[in-house]
Amino acid sequence: MRRWGIVGLALLLSACGARIVPPPATPSYRPPVVPVRQPTAATPLPPVTGTTAPGAGTAASAGLVAGPPIYSLPIGDAAASRALAAFRQSCPALLRRTDTSGLTRTSDWQPACDAAATADSGAARAFFAQWFESVQVGDGKAFATGYYVPEIAGSRVRRAGYDVPVYGRPDDLVDVDLSQFSADLKGKKIRGRVAGNKFVPYYDRADIERGILDRHAPIIAWAADPIDMFFLEIQGSGILRLPDGGTMRIGYETQNGRDYTGIGALMRQRGLLAPGKASMQGIGEWLRAHPAEGRDIMRENKSYVFFRELNGPPLGALNLPVNARVTVAADIKFIPLGAPVFLSMDRADASGLWVAQDTGGAIKGANRVDTFWGAGDEAVAIAGGMSAHGTAFLFLPTGTLARSQAEGPGGGTTPRP
């Protein structure tokens, strides 16, 4: 899941003691209705011949083939410069992490990170061509969605018109690292709670909305609209527009351990969305037109996100600020965090060079990414309707593929035909 900034509970408590001038019952801020931006069509590059190994759980087991030479890829100068800055930003964290995809060793990244420290942003395309090679994971078929930083009406204290609690981490939520019980479970974690002498799943969305956390979790703020808050949860962070005109940034703290269910797919399967309405905007429109049914559908997503106050911009899974038009969320079992990824998609806005700096509960599997667009109306217009298909090429330090092939079948790679 996406990780963000630092809890500001002390700020909440101090606000409770301040003199409050009650605002009108109707919140003074309403998020604007921003239509989906119609994409510019593009023709993706074809993937290199390759297949994904059945049941592959990591990139190494999915199989790799060499991709096109990096200098031959259509990477714009501006995109390359943004990616270089994001890669340079990621290097300190990248050099401390263990790559769970099975593709690289920490030491593999050192030469590229050393070079990035002094690389000229005007020569970013040459930097990537010199220090990286492109590889294709499995069949290379990519799918991209989008996320952004929503702005919704909220309050630090409960008042008329602000009745949706924004919970911090509950005191009875327990994280369990299963690798402590078996080496076969390395990298696997679960969350739940202790009931008597048993470890059980944590409360789901319906339980929480009915108030079961009132004695277990701090309420760091109150939102005005349950649908706006639901979509903010999916994005992982957001900005609360306060009654006095100020703002409060909140970001992902943790999650209840339940599986994420995308309600858009459920609604499409049930024929609830009219043609052209499968975007975030279209889903929200249906939920507002059918409040009782909408509440029940939202509760089918049993996953629930807990927040903390941020003192700066939203942070990704590397505990670093995410960057509009360059950060992607990815599955770390298939794309190492900090690695550049070139997308060639059927939408021009999704195509280009990105850097994996985040993760997401719905972002699972090879070549599945979530592109980050920042804040504001343009970000909403693009991210809300983002659904792009095409080809992904992962950039790895030069020599990684050859070493993996030399290691034999355990390297999880396949030579390019």
Question: What domain range includes position 107?
Answer: 59-146+323-411
**Residue 2, domain member (yes or no):** no
pLDDT at position 25 is: 56
Q: Counting beta carbons within 10 angstroms of the beta carbon of residue 352, is it exposed (0 to 12), middle (13 to 18) or buried (19 or more)?
A: buried
DSSP assignment of 27-49 equals -S------PPPPPPB--PPPPPS
Residue linked to tokens 């790799």: 64
> Which phi and psi (to 5°) does residue 328 adopt?
-125, 145
CATH number at residue 254: 2.40.240.50
**Same domain? 173 vs 288:** yes
Same domain for 171 and 286? yes
Contacts of 335 (CB under 8 A, 6+ apart): 59, 101, 137, 341, 356, 369, 394
Max CA distance (Å), the chain: 72
Give the position of tokens 């799918």.
Answer: 143
b/e code 20-40 from CB counts within 10 Å (16+ = b):
eeebeeebebebeebebbebe
The two tokens of residue 162 are 């602000």
Provide the pLDDT for residue 28: 66
Residue 317 falls within a domain, yes or no?
no
Which sign, positive or negative, has the C-alpha torsion 227, 232, 233, 238?
A: negative
From the list 363, 366, 356, the residue with the least C-alpha distance to 318 is 356
- 372 and 303 in one domain? no
- Using an 8 Å Cβ cutoff, are 326 and 86 in contact? yes
190, 296: one domain:
yes
- Indicate if 166 and 220 belong to the same structural domain: yes
Asked if residue 142 belongs to a domain, the reply is: yes
Q: Are both 391 and 268 inside the same structural domain?
A: no
Would residue 82 count as lying in a domain?
yes
- Asked if residue 380 lies in contact with residue 228, where contact means CB atoms within 8 angstroms, the answer is no
Question: Of 260, 276, 310, which residue is a domain's last?
Answer: 310
Contact 350, 368 (CB under 8 A): no
Over the range 170-196, which residues count as b (16 or more CB within 10 Å of their CB) and which as e? Answer: beebeeeeeeeeeeeeeeeeebbbeee
Q: What helix, strand, coil percent values describe the chain, rounded to 5?
A: 30, 25, 45
Question: Does residue 341 fall inside a structural domain?
Answer: yes
In angstroms, the CA 208 to CA 214 distance is 9
> Considering the domain boundaries, does residue 114 fall inside one?
yes
Is 49 within the bounds of a domain?
Answer: no
Question: Do 165 and 278 share a structural domain?
Answer: yes
CB 20 within 8 A of CB 296: no
- What pairs with residue 353 in β-bridges? 342
Total structural domains within the chain: 2
Structure tokens at 207: 């339980």
pLDDT at 138: 93
Whether 242 and 374 map to the same domain: the answer is no
Is the pTM above the cut of 0.75?
yes
pLDDT in tens, the chain (417 residues): 343 332 232 322 233 333 334 444 567 677 777 778 888 999 999 999 877 777 788 998 888 999 999 999 999 999 999 999 999 999 999 999 989 998 999 999 999 999 999 999 999 999 999 999 999 999 999 999 999 999 999 999 999 999 999 999 999 999 999 989 998 887 788 999 999 999 999 999 999 999 999 889 999 999 999 999 999 999 999 999 999 999 999 999 999 999 999 999 999 999 999 888 889 999 999 999 999 999 999 999 999 999 999 999 999 999 999 999 999 999 999 999 999 999 999 999 999 999 999 998 889 999 999 999 999 999 999 998 999 999 999 999 999 998 877 775 444 444 333
Check residue 282 and give its pLDDT: 94
| CB neighbour burial string for 88-105, b if at least 16 within 10 angstroms, e if fewer | bbbbebbeebebbbbbbe
- Which of 288, 310, 332 marks a domain boundary? 310
| 258 and 202 in a common domain | yes
Cα 387 from Cα 389, distance rounded (Å): 7
Whether 243 and 343 map to the same domain: the answer is no
> Residue 32: its pLDDT value, please?
73
Q: Is 50 inside a domain boundary?
A: no
Order across the sheet with 174-177: list the strands: 174-177, 189-195, 198-200
Please check whether residues 332 and 288 belong to one and the same domain: no
Domain end: 247, 281, 310, which one? Answer: 310
Structure tokens that stand for 236 in this block: 């992982």
Q: Domain of 403: which CATH number?
A: 2.40.40.10
DSSP for 201-269 reads: PPP-HHHHHTTTTTTTS-EEEEES-HHHHHHHHHHSEEEEE-TTS-EEEEEEEEE-SPPP--HHHHHHH
> Does 190 share its domain with 293?
yes
